[in-house]
Structure 1
Amino acid sequence: MNSTEKERNPLLSRAAFGHDFHWGVSNAAFQVEGAWNENDKGPSIWDTFTQKKGNIYGGHQAKIACDFYNRYPSDLDLMSALGIPDLRFSISWPRILPKGTGKVNPKGLAFYDRLVDETLEKGITPWVTLYHWDLPQSLQEQGGWINRDIIHWFEDYAQIVVKTLGDRVKNWMVLNEPMVFTGGGYFLGIHAPGKKGLANFIPAVHHATLCQGIGGRVIREFSPGANIGTTFSCSYVEPYRDTPRDHKAARKIDALLNRLFLEPALGRGYPINDLKLLQRLERHMKPEDEELMKFDFDYIGLQNYTREKVKFSISTPILWANIVKAENRKVHFNEMGWEVYPESIYHMLHQFSAYPEVKKIIITESGTAFDDKVKNGEVHDPNRTKYIQDVLHQVWKAKQEGVPVQGYFIWTFTDNFEWAEGYRPRFGIVYNDHTTQERIIKSSGQWYSDFLKS
């Protein structure tokens, strides 16, 4: 690319974001590790959920996934060769505590000890997520996130992990996308553990909110000086039509998708005024909970993939709102059915940064899924490359306008197991052949490498 083109687009240089901006990729234990029952690991709710017919696209399972448990040294070598300086990964709770509580599995802790050591040896900074959805099945049999005892189970688990890794890991995330794992797993039933209805969803929301704050305090206690965050899924929400009913419906969906877990962490309580059904949370509140829900996070992890258009709907009682699918709006969408709309991240950066309590934002997930194919031993994915470039333009624009955004992590490094969608959607910048485990750097991965080395 010539100098004239570089002058027109400062995003062609990593330096445009500043020397203190973090660059990385993200993954999650269940989606990449495999080794589902090796070295005394216990079953998770996703191990159980994937074994039930009809739950996962194509009957796919994650027993091997990307075999990261065994192949992490070569994956880290590849990451290092590409010049990727930061890796976000999660800890598998049932690999540490096979029964969820009680006896610790030393083999599980040893794996993460080795993983952290090797990332550091290769010059890669580890960013660790305590909970990325793989709850021990034994705890689900006691109610899982519906049981208030989970705040004690989670606290004990977090202490074990932080005490073990906190001398080397300085960047932490407590929960990954609590709205998704409570909504998908305890309301819609499309994710593990497959529970449905408000009676499951409401207590799960409250207990996850409590664990969000408790986890932050555990990290602060046992890893003083750590950089502590938690992550939120978010979508830019707009009314489908410019009518009072659609505007009201959009406010409800925004409260549900974007504010439900963020505002309690900031000390603002639940957004009940815009979403009356959240009044049901009050029956689960105890006097000490207002304080337990709060935590002064060093940063907020923002995870954005799309925008949503919302309209008033009489067919959805309680909410009276419905999301209009991208395919029905005749807009460009990806393999997940999500609208390809890079501007969404700009709007969400401004929305989150408008809270004075938010000190710093790290984009802990950003990416897209397309139907990638191998041709002549190569994978060309220009649509993903363009998407990343367009998103980075929006991030840079927001940063120039004063938004305190300090990092960008692509979801994801290698194509992996995408929950209920199985292996069909490919989000990786590195292609993974799920049969042979061959890795092929996609053209988007090469672009990211060139960008980081520029």
Structure 2
Amino acid sequence: MACMKAVIIGVLLSMATAERRFPDGFKFGTATSSYQIEGAWNVSDKGESIWDRFVHTRPEAVSDRSTGDVACDSYNRWREDVQLLEDLHVDYYRFSISWPRLLPTGFANRVSEDGARYYGDLIDALLEKGIEPVITLYHWDLPQTLQDLGGWTNPLITEWFTDYARVIFDLYGDRVKTWLTINEPVVVCDVGYTGYIAPGLESEGRGSYLCTKHILLAHAKAYRLYEAEYKPLYQGQVSLTNQMMWFVPETEEDAELTELVKIYTIDRYCHPMFSAAGGWPPALERLIAQQSAEEGEPRSRLPPFTQDEIDLVRGSYDFLALNHYTTRTVRRAGEGEVGTFLVDGFRELGVMPGNIPEWLTSTPHQPEVHPGGIRALLGYVKQQYGDVPIFIMENGLTDLGTAIDDQPRATYFRNYLDQVLLAIEEDGVNVRRYTVWSLLDNFEWVHGYQLHFGLHRVNFSSPQRTRTARRSARYYAAVARTKDLDAQYHFENIADEL
């Protein structure tokens, strides 16, 4: 038996020399968001966010009736999180700033000293460990004061957001070089205005489109502010993060419809920023105008851009940031059928999303697993928008358990990373970063604490919110340390059986 073990270990060591390495300069990171991990919802002078209001007034909207009041308690335990990041050997940590924690009134007339100190201390601690801070300005926790004035449907929010961005750039611009303005506008707008998540309003196909336009303008104004005043000083980079599913037709007859779904869910946000022409995708403009006319509307429900607005948004990027989790099939909805994910878009297009049985997992609410989808998506982005640098800012697998030995998650990372590497090596896609969601189990929005994405298990029953590294953390740490996709993975998986 000892001889056999020696032979196997020898084979493993030889495998370790057959590296499949990511290019020099490729960076690995992990991510969280403020409301999902910080807790301390009413500490010091922090203002109320739309998620504070939503979970406290509509507890039935969250599956386990929980809140983010304490969450991972990272407001108090951030030093533990920094140590976990160091142990992971990641190049960067993506986290978000809570708008109402930094600006208690929502406006820039008052900056919280405690809020500013909290994020400043976190940034400094990361830099001391050699970890780059990557900051998202807005990850869904809008100040309730601004929501009371219309939130993302009020055109003045573009100014309020720019004022907020200026405060952040002034505070941290000397230390932070990579910025994400807004996370996943497709969720903020399309899901946020179906009543499903905060702010819990129902305005499908109207409020959702106002939200989309104003988010793009808010991003662009913040980008132009940084470009004019801060980039010459600090040489940082700024973009917006889009949620991008991949879609495939259920049958050949659904191919044209599938392309329309891609335009609706991907290009609605990318075309205004990354295309040479700017503005809304023409096919989307025609569709909404036609449907608005058929509904008796005096004008299109999709608000137009002026030429000045087109020029403002077009080119407002230094890289293209995307989050990707899953692939869905597309077919025409039958009479009475309504899609239930990204509800507004699928109703607008008359689409039913589906799946292929081999992609399904045993976990409810887990997006279908199809690693090839991320390679196809990356190829599509290159085809549509050229050789733009691409940062993958979220990718991950959830489960219902709290197991430390989460082999399916480690396998998920390996398989998706394999497809990313193929996109780089064989398709020539300019992918620069890969980010795991998430560093920690956290408050997973309307699923509360029932779903777990974390590289680290969090014991939410413990006052200490004890963090424990999972098997997937071991694998990801090895990849981040060596940039080698396979060797450590095979060694750990086979060696564990010896």
TM-score interval for Structure 1 and Structure 2 normalised by the shorter chain: over 0.9
Query: Would the alpha carbon gap of residues 247 and 193 (structure 1) be closer, same or farther in structure 2, given more than 3 Å must change?
Result: same
Q: Provide the rounded CA distance (Å) in 1 between the counterparts of 2:444 and 2:184.
A: 14
- Report the equivalent of 1:406: 432
Equivalent residue in structure 2 for 1:78, among 80, 84, 87: 84
Aligned AA for 2:323?
Q
| 1:302 aligned residue | 322
Aligned to 1:447: 475
Once the 2 structures are TM-superposed, how far is the Cα of residue 452 of structure 1 from its aligned partner?
2.4
- Provide the identity percentage: 31
Q: Which of 156, 162, 176 is the aligned partner of 2:163?
A: 156
The answer as to 2:439 corresponding to 1:429 is no
Matched AA of 2:281: P
Cα deviation for residue 254 of structure 1 reads 1.2
For the 8 Å contact 1:26–1:409, the answer to whether it is kept is yes
Q: Which residue of 2 aligns with 1:23?
A: 28
**Deviation, structure 1 residue 230:** 1.6
Question: CA shift at 1:201, angstroms?
Answer: 0.9
Equivalent residue in structure 2 for 1:256, among 264, 279, 292: 264
1:90 correspondence with 2:96: yes
CA distance 1:73–1:5, change in 2 (3 Å): same
Picking from 131, 138, 148, the partner of 1:141 is 148
Alpha carbons 2:274, 2:385 under 8 Å: kept: no
Q: How much does 1:450 deviate?
A: 2.1
Q: Secondary structure at the match of 1:350?
A: helix
Structure 2 partner of 1:33: 38
Distance 2:163 2:239 in 1: 19
Is 1:348 paired with 2:348?
A: no
Q: Is the 8 A contact 1:304 1:344 kept in 2?
A: no
Q: Is 1:181–2:188 an aligned residue pair?
A: yes
**More deviation in 204-213 or 97-106?**
97-106
Which segment is superposed worse, 168-177 or 99-108? Answer: 99-108
**Distance in 2 of aligned mates of 1:301 and 1:129:** 11
SS at match of 2:94: strand
What does the per-residue CA deviation read over 1:131-163, in whole Å, with 9 as the maximum and x for residues that have no partner?
111100000000000100100100100010011
> So what's the TM-score if we normalise by structure 2?
0.85
Query: Counterpart in 1 of 2:218?
Result: 211
In the alignment, structure 1 segments of 5+ residues that lack a partner are none
Hey, what does 1:121 align to over in structure 2?
Answer: 128
Query: Equivalent residue of 1:322, what SS?
Result: strand
In structure 2, relative to structure 1, the CA distance for the partners of 1:41 and 1:284 (3 Å cut) is: farther
Matched, 1:321 2:351: yes
Question: Does the 8 A contact of 1:235 with 1:308 survive in 2?
Answer: yes
Contact 1:41-1:108 at 8 Å conserved across structures: yes
Aligned-partner SS, 1:440: strand
Give how far 1:421 is off.
1.1
Matching residue's letter, 2:456: V
- Report the counterpart of residue 414 of structure 2 in structure 1: 389
Aligned equivalent of 1:48, options 53, 59, 64? 53
- CA shift for structure 1 position 66: 0.7
Q: Give the direction of change, closer, same or farther, for the CA distance of 1:354–1:431 in structure 2 (3 Å limit).
A: same
Rounded to whole Å, the distance in 1 between the matches of 2:50 and 2:172 is 25
| Amino acid across the alignment from 2:269 | F
* Alignment-mate amino acid for residue 26 of structure 2: F
SS of match in other structure, 2:384 = coil
**For the Cα contact (< 8 Å) 1:42–1:94, is it kept in 2?**
yes
Contact map agreement 1:270 1:278 (CA 8 A) in 2: no
* 1:447 Cα offset (Å): 1.2
CA contact (8 A) 1:163 1:222 kept: no
Aligned mates of 2:274, 2:87 — CA distance in 1: 39
Stretches of 4+ moved more than 6 A in 1?
A: none
Give the number of aligned pairs.
440
Asked whether the 8 Å contact 2:402–2:452 carries over to 1, the reply is no
Please name the residue that 2:390 is paired with: 361
1:235 paired residue number: 245
Q: Which amino acid aligns with 1:227?
A: Q
Larger Rg: 2
